[in-house]
Chains A and B, each alone.
Chain A
Amino acid sequence: MPIKRTLSDRITDGINLLLLLVLSFVMVFPFYYITAVSFSSYQEYMNTELLLFPKNWVLDAYRFIFDSKEFIRSIGVTVYITVVGSIVSLLLTSTMAFALTRRLWGQRFYLFLVLFTFIFGAGMIPTYLIVKATGLIDSYWSLIIPDAISSFNLIVMRQFFMSIPEELNEAAVIDGANDWQIYTRIILPLSKPALAAFGLFYAVGQWNTYFNAILYLNDPAKWTVQVILRQIVILDDAANTLASAAREAARSAHLPPPETIGMAAIILATIPILIVYPFLQKHFAKGVMLGSVKG
């Protein structure tokens, strides 16, 4: 049935769309501004009242960051943790999620153990003490193991595995396959898109890790990119070597000011997310919806 649109309908739609566009602008503008200023020169940043578009684009801030060991090292650390952490998380989550779809002895109890963590967590200090007792302090594994499984992802993945037709499992069982073979030969190959999506979720989580890094890593040489980023952008204090060195250098040699360096650092720390975002976006809505179905 064709719905006739009245004038007031059109006005409502117009205002609605306008508001949404304003909102989208609010979401995008910070990125634009930070990118633009990160490419501006020292003089221009200092002398322009409202810098929205640099006249000459320079790479000083980026050059400075790539020359500094700390930032590059933190990127290396974070890449390592992201890759290893995502693989470990995927392995642990998918094996357990699959096992929870099998009618194992005590299955309801294991499921309860997982679901209970949704409403009650152990708390920061006992968890910290266990991580310490495990001997993970100052080890990169402290960023990977203690949060290796997200209960939410686990439940969503289990839900996904249960949507795979039971007949396939039955046929495999008749052919003499055990659970391990079903997992490796049927479930994993059929779940590649889901595994990719969860892998990306875990990877974004690892890339953004901040809290665990300050909690478990005392050695500044091991800090992740988010910790270094906080030092540069948010603290910007004298105790922070990179920013204060930048300030000194800027004063003496007209090098890039710490402000543009901070912006360049934000851009560099965000680029990996922007790269995987289109892939993420394809999968996440479905993933989130699966999770809302009760297990």
Chain B
Amino acid sequence: MATTSVEASKTVIERKKAPAKSLATRLFRERYGFLLLLPGLLYFIWFRYVPMLGNIIAFEDYSPFKGFLHSDWVGLKHFKRIFEDAEVIRVLWNTLWLSFLQIAFAFPVPIVLALMLNEVKNQRIKRIIQSVVYLPHFLSWVVVVGIVTIFLKTEGIVNKGLDFAFGMEAIPFLQQPGWFMPLIVLEVIWKEAGWGTIIFLAALAGVNPTLYEAAIVDGANRWRQLWHITLPAIRGTIIILLILRLGSVLDSGFTQIFLMLNPFTMDVGNVLDTFVYFKGIQQSDFSFGTAVGLFKGLVGLVLILAANKIAKKFGEDGVF
């Protein structure tokens, strides 16, 4: 035993001594590994990292005819527009307001749902309910928004039901600006709440059952067990997911919003993601659209790093 470990450490030292010769040999020896790495690596470079460099058109007056090497350099002009344009300010405000609503109303739902599911003792019933609440996650946004459209149209079942039960006039839910954000949040809850429980349920499954037995011996009722054992068990998970959520406060989910928007709700519902699409792609204002997108990405990056740091200060694990 002793001799082999000495020999092992010797070979380590020898390897460290001769790096110059080794790189070429090493690359040759690992050529099949690199062969497997190459397609994926090329994908990441070309479709993820070259576009990151492509963000420099935010500092140009990009013209597709001149290309991004020869377009005129304009410095921060487009970033100044972000803060001078009343439309962008409103879009930014819509984005932040939606994010606030999502964190306040949609974020806690999977936690509560997981706690409720965790209390179901009959495993078969629990599994059936889980299958049902996970399902909407796999539907497309077109289907979800389509269902909502069918239900909430002036001649849809909700209005028919309201008329049937209370004799109410039809409410044009989809055209009234006031309903836009609540509907977005409700759709997110309907589609993703069940899916979001998975990670909390896993955290809850890891709780040592003897903790509950000890608590019962100490006379704790169900609510005290929830407060002192169950909730602390998932606190770390909640904080990590909250950090990730904070990092994406400016991400609103393009497809859903885009599908819900119509001329009546444009003022309250247009968010940064859809704004970038309308400006950049539909109106070909590439540089301005890119500037708004880059601004969004950088704010997200700063937020996630800051939130992570704060979490670590408070003694939590953080994400990285």
Contacts and interface: CB of A to CB of B under 8 A. Distances in A.
Contact of B51 (A122, A262, A285): A122
29 contacts: A3-B213, A12-B222, A16-B116, A33-B157, A34-B150, A49-B160, A95-B36, A96-B37, A105-B23, A105-B27, A110-B37, A119-B304, A122-B49, A125-B280, A126-B51, A130-B47, A130-B54, A146-B47, A149-B44, A179-B30, A211-B254, A262-B150, A266-B146, A266-B150, A280-B138, A288-B198, A288-B199, A289-B202, A292-B199
B286 A129 contact: yes
B297 interface: yes
Contacts of B301: 119-120
Chain A: interface size category? 35 or more
B297 A20 contact: no
B300 interface: yes
A12 B227 CA distance: 15
B147 A30 contact: yes
Contact of B289 (A125, A226, A227): A125
A99 B36 contact: yes
B222 A234 contact: no
Interface stretch (B7-15, B89-97, B98-106, B128-136): B128-136
B interface bracket (residues with beta carbon within 8 Å of A): 35 or more
Given A20-B117, A234-B146, A124 B289 contact: yes
A144 B79 CA distance: 33
Contacts of B222: 8-9, 12
A122 B276 contact: no
Interface in A216-256: 226-227, 229-230, 233-234, 236
A266 B146 CA distance: 8
Interface in A62-108: 91-93, 95-100, 102, 104-105
A100 B142 CA distance: 36
B160 A50 contact: yes
Contacts of B139: 208, 270, 273
A207 interface: yes
Interface in A256-289: 259, 262-263, 266, 269-270, 273, 277, 280-281, 284-285, 288-289
Interface in A117-176: 117, 119-131, 134, 145-146, 148-149, 154
Interface string B2-45: 00000000000000000000010011001011111101110111
A280 B49 CA distance: 32
Contact of A127 (B51, B147, B151, B259): B51
B55 A95 contact: no
Given A27-B190, A92-B43, A119-B300, 16 more contacts: A17-B120, A23-B129, A30-B147, A49-B160, A50-B161, A51-B157, A91-B39, A96-B41, A102-B30, A123-B297, A124-B277, A126-B51, A127-B47, A149-B40, A210-B140, A262-B146
B290 A102 contact: no
A47 interface: no
Contacts of A91: 39
Interface string B267-299: 000000100110011000010011001101100
B57 interface: yes
Interface of B: 23, 26-27, 30, 32-37, 39-41, 43-55, 57, 68, 113, 116-117, 119-121, 125, 128-129, 131-136, 138-143, 145-147, 149-151, 157, 160-161, 164, 190, 194, 198-199, 202, 213, 216, 221-222, 247, 254-255, 258-259, 273, 276-277, 280-281, 286, 289-290, 293-294, 296-297, 300-301, 304-305, 320
A270 B135 CA distance: 11
A56 interface: no
A215 interface: yes
Nearest to B287: A125
B141 A210 contact: yes
Interface in A174-217: 178-181, 183, 204, 207-208, 210-211, 215
B132 A233 contact: no
A125 B293 contact: yes
Contacts of A1: 213
Contacts of A210: 140-142, 255, 259
A7 interface: no
A50 B120 contact: no
Contacts of B68: 129
A288 B294 CA distance: 30
A269 to B, nearest CB: 6
B146 A129 contact: no
B92 to A, nearest CB: 16
A114 B40 CA distance: 10
A24 B129 contact: yes
Contacts of A259: 150
Contacts of B52: 120, 122, 126
Given A123-B276, A130-B51, A266-B143, A26 B190 contact: yes
A208 B140 contact: yes
Contact of B294 (A3, A20, A123, A281): A123
A229 B142 CA distance: 7
A183 B53 CA distance: 33
A44 interface: no
Given A96-B36, A124-B277, A207-B140, A20 B55 contact: no
Contacts of B43: 92, 96, 145, 148-149
